[in-house]
Structure 1
Amino acid sequence: MKAVGFTLCKLSNRLQILLYDEFMKKQYRSEFSTRQNMRKEDYEIFFYSDSYFQSVSVHKHDYYEFYFPVSGNVEMEIRGKRTRLVPCDAVIVPPGTSHRAITENSEKSYSRYVFWISADYLREIAAIVPGISYIRTKAASQKQNIFHFSESEYALIQSKILRLIEEDHSDKYAAADFRHICIMDLLTLISRFIYEHDNPRPAEKGSDQIHLMIDFIETHLDEELSLERLGEQFFVSKYHIAHIFKDRTGMTVHRYIQKKRLERCADDIKSGKSLSQIHRTYGFGDYSSFFRAFRNEYGVSPKEYQSVYLLDPLVRNRADEKKGVD
């Protein structure tokens, strides 16, 4: 099987998974509708991706809404209070709660998963899997509707969502049973993550410091980053940082920074930005060093990677608009 100039079987495992996820999203992308009533009795699930978002007024409904933003600048208004969502956020809106999503139209598409589930169906499956009741209780308390997850947690949640979407479009044997299992799996996982965030285990020595360093790195990827700078920022020796970072993450500081920069580069490629602009933004001294690092990480060159995403009409349109501006 040939795919835009390279053989799929030669791709890295990471890129194969990434391409599969993108294929799934394109395959099952829903046409956005302002409809806010369920047509199915138990649940509905959608993946939306829009260049320009058609606003929906403040509304409420008699079912639960789970909202998982993927990209775009989004605010969620719940009971009159607006909150800007950040990557890896999820929103749970219980029945009877006024809300709406607000987004700024930009060159970056507004993508999200939306999962609706009736109160009766959620109650029914919570009776089978009691752990699911935790998110029902959290949502009903009206004290918290927005939940933040780690990147790895959010990736796992997305994989469960994609599995459900795939089964939702399936006519295979026992598809209805699989959909039931997928929903319980998804909601149990979300309940576990929220419970563990609410009831953290005693932190290991140095874990808080590592989390602060990781947050600092991920918000300064377009700046000069080094052991020396981290040492100055956190008032510890660079040798101490190197030791605890390797111990807690399994990677050197340099490798972690490069990995995160390459992930950001990949995101920018998908948004249609030029390769020359991208490699300069994230500290790669020249294109050849960027080319080698990217190929080592993803198994394909930046241009090959770009060609995959430019097959997506939304990405292609943004790239054409960008060229017009340039």
Structure 2
Amino acid sequence: MQELYQNLQQAINFRHGVTYDPVHLDFHQHHDLYEIYFFLTGDVHYFIEKQVYPLQYGDLLIMHSNELHRPNFQSKKQRYENIVIHFNPKLIKAFSSPQFDLLDCFNNRVMGEQNRMRLTPQQIDDIMKLYERLDIHSSPGSRAGSEVLYVSAFIELLVFINRIFQSQGNQEEQGIIPDKLTSLLTYIDENLDQDLSLDTLEQVVYMNRSYLCRLFKKHTGSTIHEHILFKRIAKAKLLLREGNTVTDACQLAGFNDYSNFIRTFKKAVGLPPRQYQAQQRRV
């Protein structure tokens, strides 16, 4: 039992970060991990799939492993503070009951929707108390039994988040992304195996390519090319997990050059495609 809780403690990565010079982050996913992101201070617009959220103190974001996301920092040299938890859902699932699924808010919604929860002052106070407990019980040199209390506090956090999620229901998204970009992102998602050159995309949204690129960069903090690349990598990962060959994953994800696919996949994921697929089969 002691070993079980130690493994669970290691599967829940808690981080309270503060910086005055935030590092640029590319679009990314977290492989098999889910993310809970709690915003404290800064000037940040957060991109998740097809939405861009301007964040305010106390905003809570939830993301499962397949949702592409990145922060877009609007101001430099400004205090940026957040609390982020990455965790393995496979190990947490066992703590759900038949009446209450701890992973409900991550799994039972449309991908890229209902990612943000705007908390009340009382809810912010309550969640901060849970984070304080997690911080105390994860500290080096904690007293005996801290690993049990750490896991317990995290399970309580998941119950808390799911209750908020269920109470808010399917509220209308309050992102700031223009309709033209939403249409563009939808087209990219649905046509990853097709030609997605700027020649094609400017015809899809009836917009000059220069203006389209500037608009995309303004709202996402990245380029259209980078977004397409990471989307194709994400699709390739899914295809490999589903048992497709590396060659088929390359073609179906929209990579026309096999060697480039191998090189790009390894750089983004940390493993070549075949090794990634073998690793997933062992999980």
Give how far 1:177 is off: 0.8
Counterpart residue number, 1:191: 162
For 1:139 and 1:187, the matched residues in 2 are separated by 16
- The SS at the match of 2:29 is coil
Alpha-carbon distance change, 139 to 195 in structure 1, aligned in 2, over 3 angstroms: same
- Cα distance in 1 between the residues matched to 2:101 and 2:89: 16
2:51 alignment counterpart: 81
Taking only aligned residues, the RMSD between alpha carbons, in angstroms, comes to 2.4
Distance change (3 Å), C-alpha of 1:80 and 1:58: farther
1:57 to 3, 21, 26: 26
In structure 2, the partner of 1:318 is none
Structure 1 unaligned spans of 5+: 1-39, 201-326
1 CA distance for matches of 2:28 and 2:165?
26
Structure 2: how far apart are the matches of 1:65 and 1:152? 23
2-structure distance, mates of 1:127, 1:63: 21
- Name the amino acid aligned to 1:63: L
- Measure how far apart 1:100 and its partner are: 0.7
Q: Hey, what's the Cα distance between the residues in 2 that align with 1:129 and 1:42?
A: 24
Question: Aligned-pair distance for 1:159?
Answer: 1.3
* 2:136 and 2:142 in contact (8 A); partners too: no
Tell me which residue corresponds to 2:268: none
Once residues 175 and 187 of structure 1 are traced to their aligned partners in structure 2, the CA distance between those partners, rounded to angstroms, is: 18
Matched, 1:178 2:114: no
- CA change 1:106–1:141 in 2 (3 A) is closer
Query: Is residue 2:64 matched to residue 1:122?
Result: no
Select 1:162's aligned residue among 93, 113, 132: 132
Are 1:43 and 2:12 counterparts? yes
Which residue does the alignment assign to 2:75? 105
Q: Judging changes above 3 Å, is the alpha-carbon distance between structure 1 residues 142 and 106 closer, same or farther for their aligned structure 2 residues?
A: closer
Cα drift, residue 93 of structure 1 = 0.8
Question: Hey, what does 1:239 align to over in structure 2?
Answer: none
Report if the CA contact (8 A) 2:58-2:119 is conserved.
yes
Larger Rg, first or second structure (1 or 2)? 1
The structure-2 alpha-carbon separation of the partners of 1:129 and 1:74, relative to structure 1 and needing over 3 Å to count, comes to farther
The total of aligned residue pairs comes to 161
- Structure 2 CA distance for partners of 1:181 and 1:56, relative to 1, 3 Å: same
Residues 205-246 of structure 1 show CA distances to partners (whole Å, capped at 9, x for unaligned) of xxxxxxxxxxxxxxxxxxxxxxxxxxxxxxxxxxxxxxxxxx
Secondary structure of 1:156's match?
Answer: helix
Distance 2:70 2:40 in 1: 17
Amino acid in the other structure paired with 2:129: S
Find out whether 1:95 has 2:65 as its counterpart: yes
Unpaired stretches in structure 2, ≥5 consecutive residues? 1-8, 172-283
Determine the structure 1 residue equivalent to 2:224: none
CA distance in 2 between counterparts of 1:115 and 1:139 reads 20
Alpha-carbon distance between aligned partners in 1 of 2:153 and 2:108, rounded to the nearest angstrom: 21
Shift of 1:125: 2.4
Alpha-carbon distance in structure 1 between the residues aligned to 2:135 and 2:72:
25
- Structure possessing the higher relative contact order (Cα contacts under 8 Å, 6 or more residues apart): 2
Q: TM-score, normalised by structure 1?
A: 0.45
Q: Deviations over 1:229-280 (max 9, x none)?
A: xxxxxxxxxxxxxxxxxxxxxxxxxxxxxxxxxxxxxxxxxxxxxxxxxxxx
Matched-pair contact (CA < 8 Å) for 1:64–1:93? yes
Question: 1:131: Cα distance to partner?
Answer: 4.7
Please give the alpha-carbon distance, in whole angstroms, between the structure 2 residues aligned to 1:129 and 1:46: 30
Sort the Cα spacing of 1:119 and 1:185 in 2 relative to 1 into closer, same or farther, 3 A: same
8 Å Cα contact 2:67-2:111 kept in structure 1: no
1:1-326 matches, within 5 Å, as 41-61=10-30, 62-106=32-76, 108-127=78-97, 130-138=100-108, 141-169=111-139, 170-198=141-169
Q: Percent identity of the aligned residues? A: 17
